[in-house]
A = this chain, B = another copy of it.
Amino acid sequence: MKEPLPQLGKPRPERADAVRNRALLLETARMLVAERGATDVTMDELAARSGLGKGTVFRRFGSRAGIFQALLDEEELALQQAVMAGDPPLGPGAPGLERLIAYGTARIGFLFDNHEIARATLDGGQAVPAGESPLSRMHIRMLLGEIKPAFGDLDVLAAQLTGALDGPLMLQLPAEDLSSVKVQRHRQRLMQGWTELVTRLCASSPGRPSEEADGVHR
């Protein structure tokens, strides 16, 4: 049997050696990143260390940024699965707002943990910017649809919240030592900020639970 029809979704099943080499390249890339840092990984080196030709590297990933994109996608897989089929509050089952908080927190952690690679996906001359999983925006959009906050344009809100998550990490945080205490505290602050942000946005009624400290003035 088999289906010899090149369905639109799967133009072709990708050859076995291609699959093997892609995996090999990603593994080698990860090793090189670990030992020299993402910015110092060269394509020649990657090809050589993998025992493959340079042409292969570029056919598989298109560009230098493409490799880091693939690396990041691979890392993101676990998060995606936890979101789609894991336990609440990240996975299905919890109320929308809780899931949104959990997702943002997880995404911030993810971008911190993979900061070097994430930054390396940025490339000025890219049609689709990369470094930006549309998945993130789509998931946020989906949760917003469930939460139904009083907001005119949920697509735009999703885009902006995605930017609120990714911007501080992708555009603002310099590539410094991520293990420093100061930066680790920043991570916590971002997570807390996200929680407050979406909580405030999604509360249909006022109900500010506590914290009435700030003066009435003005």
**Contact size range, A:** 35 or more
Docked pose: A120 CA to B129 CA in angstroms: 10
Interface residues of A in 194-218 (CB under 8 A from B): 194, 196-197, 200-201, 205-206, 208, 211-212, 214, 218
With A137-B172, A150-B208 in contact, is A125–B167 under 8 Å at CB?
A: no
The winner among A170, A194, A208 for most chain B CB atoms within 10 A is A170
Chain A facing B: main interface SS? helix
A153 within 8 A of B: yes
Chain A 153-167 interface 0/1 with B at a Cβ cutoff of 8 Å (1 = within): 101110111111111
A99 within 8 A of B: no
For A212, give the chain B residue with the smallest CB separation: B150
With A159-B172, A164-B160, A164-B164 in contact, is A153–B123 under 8 Å at CB?
A: no
A171 within 8 A of B: yes
Chain A 27-66 interface 0/1 with B at a Cβ cutoff of 8 Å (1 = within): 0000000000011000000000000000000000000110
Q: Are A127 and B174 in contact (CB under 8 A)?
A: yes
With A127-B175, A157-B197, A189-B156 in contact, is A214–B148 under 8 Å at CB?
A: yes
Q: Are B156 and A163 in contact (CB under 8 A)?
A: no
A119 within 8 A of B: yes
Q: Tell me the minimal C-beta distance from A154 to chain B in angstroms.
A: 9
A16 within 8 A of B: no
Docked pose: A137 CA to B173 CA in angstroms: 12
B residues within 8 A CB of A192?
Answer: 152-153, 156
B residues within 8 A CB of A172?
Answer: 129, 132, 137, 159, 162-163
Give 13 pairs: A residue, B residue, CB < 8 Å, sorted on A.
Answer: A119-B124, A121-B124, A137-B172, A151-B193, A151-B200, A152-B193, A153-B189, A156-B168, A156-B193, A160-B168, A160-B190, A162-B172, A197-B201
6 additional contacts (CB under 8 A) given A159-B172, A160-B197: A38-B125, A129-B171, A150-B211, A160-B167, A160-B193, A163-B163
